């Protein structure tokens, strides 16, 4: 059963807006024509799963209450990059100031007009391979999901996509999202493993579902060996869709755990073009650790925005650089471009 598309709801992101400063009484939020372009948490913000939080049925609005928070109405198209910074040991580096970053579009420096390194709520999809190759690995998946939940934010919106040759949303009862770790775990057990693999269709389903989330920062975590033998869409369809999405994609490649290697390259490409990271664990214990690391890295990311000078409908290359006193060998993970004026999600 595949999900019908729903209208895109405007999200809100707490930011430090550099022109004019915040109004009295609280932080500034940007609302309106915000054009997120994605970053790395992975998937890098992590889904936050609060075991006792209330669920979000499809029919219920996810719009946060804003009566006590000043709202800055912006009619500019912002390009928003979700960025992660790593040191030479591949550890995420939090708490860097705005002055440490520079953004370039097509080689030209851009003034940063939005910046936050806060731990904001995230919308996260977990796309989990449930084909024959995963028959003996259910306990590994469940343990990884629990580790992921332990680093959650109480206001995260989370859903699951469980796939073999069929692509199914895992949440029961018409829920679009949940904040309950127990419901997430139960959703992964709803369907018996086995069959072929429709990876490309599952990724596209997950990206479509993220569009109805109210949180501005969106992440898709994909666990699979990369093999596809059942999708209606092609590999290029999936990669094109991922490039146009605002979501940060983390992948966990399981080919090193099996005799069949799958397609490592497609898992790496899927992560890198979104600004995410591919993990390639060599043991089930490492899979669990990678789920936790993805969650942690999402929490430590930055959101950086600027107003493009020419929304001409063309594809523009974007580069983010970072320099900070006391740090060496810093590297940045972020989306490498966007299509100006492109608001479609097909």
| Of 169, 230, 243, 244, residue with least CA distance to 200 | 230
Query: In the beta sheet, which residues pair with residue 33?
Result: none
Percent of the chain scoring above 90 in pLDDT: 62
Phi, psi of 223 (to 5 degrees): -110, 120
**What's residue 77's pLDDT?**
80
**What's residue 283's pLDDT?**
94
Q: Is the dihedral of CA 135, 191, 159, 200 positive or negative?
A: positive
Beta pairing class for 108-110 and 101-105? antiparallel
Phi, psi of 85 (to 5 degrees): -120, 135
Structure confidence by residue, pLDDT tens digits, 110-130: 999 999 998 889 999 999 999
Residue 202's pLDDT band (cuts 50, 70, 90): very high
Residue 148's pLDDT band (cuts 50, 70, 90): very high
Domain extent listing, the chain: 13-41+72-118+300-339, 123-299
As a whole number of angstroms, the distance between CA 208 and CA 112 comes to 29
Cα–chain center distance at 211: 11
Structure confidence by residue, pLDDT tens digits, 204-237: 999 999 999 999 899 999 999 999 999 999 999 9
**What's residue 239's pLDDT?**
96
**What's residue 76's pLDDT?**
53
**What's residue 35's pLDDT?**
45
CB distance 86 to 39 below 8 Å: no
Higher pLDDT, 151 or 272: 272
Q: What is the DSSP code string of 126-168?
A: EEEE-SGGGTT-HHHHHHHHHHHHHT--TT-EEEEEEESSSEE
| Of 50, 39, 43, 81, residue with least CA distance to 293 | 43
Would 13-41+72-118+300-339 and 123-299 be classified into the same CATH topology? Answer: no
Residue 313's pLDDT band (cuts 50, 70, 90): confident
Q: Name, of 82-86, 258-262, 306-310, the range with top average pLDDT.
A: 82-86
* pLDDT exceeds 90 at position 166: yes
pTM: 0.76
* pLDDT exceeds 60 at position 306: yes
Residue 346's pLDDT band (cuts 50, 70, 90): very low
Round the average pLDDT of the chain to a whole number and report it. 80
**CATH value of 123-299 in 3.40.50.2300, 3.40.50.410, 3.40.50.720, 3.10.105.10:** 3.40.50.410
Architecture of domain 13-41+72-118+300-339: Sandwich (2.60)
Region 29-53: mean pLDDT is 39
* pLDDT exceeds 70 at position 62: no
Percent of the chain scoring above 70 in pLDDT: 77
């Amino acid at each position: 059963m595949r999900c019908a598309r729903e209208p895109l709801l405007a999200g809100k992101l707490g930011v430090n807006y550099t022109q004019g400063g915040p109004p009295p009484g609280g932080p500034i939020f940007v609302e309106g024509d915000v054009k997120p372009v994605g970053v790395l948490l992975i998937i890098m913000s992590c889904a936050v799963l609060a075991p006792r939080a209330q669920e979000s049925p499809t029919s219920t609005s996810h719009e946060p209450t804003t009566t006590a928070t000043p709202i800055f109405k912006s009619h500019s198209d912002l390009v928003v990059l979700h960025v992660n910074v790593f040191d030479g040991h591949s550890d995420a580096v939090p708490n860097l100031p705005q002055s440490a970053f520079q953004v370039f579009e097509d080689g030209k420096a851009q003034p940063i007009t939005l910046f936050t390194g806060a731990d904001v709520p995230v919308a996260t999809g977990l796309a989990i391979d449930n084909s024959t190759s995963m028959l003996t690995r259910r306990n590994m998946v469940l343990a990884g999901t629990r580790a992921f939940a332990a680093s959650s934010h109480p206001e995260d919106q989370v859903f699951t996509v469980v796939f073999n040759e069929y692509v199914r949303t895992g949440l029961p009862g018409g829920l679009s999202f949940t904040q309950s770790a127990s419901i997430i775990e139960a959703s992964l057990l709803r369907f018996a493993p086995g069959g072929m693999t429709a990876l490309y269709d599952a990724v596209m389903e997950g990206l479509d579902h993220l569009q109805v989330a109210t949180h501005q920062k969106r992440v898709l975590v994909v666990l699979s060996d990369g093999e596809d033998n059942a999708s209606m869409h092609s590999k290029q369809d999936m990669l094109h869709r991922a490039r146009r999405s605002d979501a940060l994609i983390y992948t966990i490649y399981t080919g090193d755990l099996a005799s069949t290697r799958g397609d490592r390259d497609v898992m790496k490409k899927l992560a890198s073009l979104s600004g995410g990271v591919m993990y390639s664990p060599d043991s089930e214990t490492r899979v669990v650790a990678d789920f936790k690391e993805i969650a942690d890295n999402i929490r430590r990311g930055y959101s950086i925005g600027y107003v493009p000078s020419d929304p001409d409908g063309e594809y523009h290359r974007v580069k983010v650089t970072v320099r900070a006193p006391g740090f060496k060998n810093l590297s940045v993970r972020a989306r490498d471009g966007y299509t100006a004026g492109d608001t479609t999600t097909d």
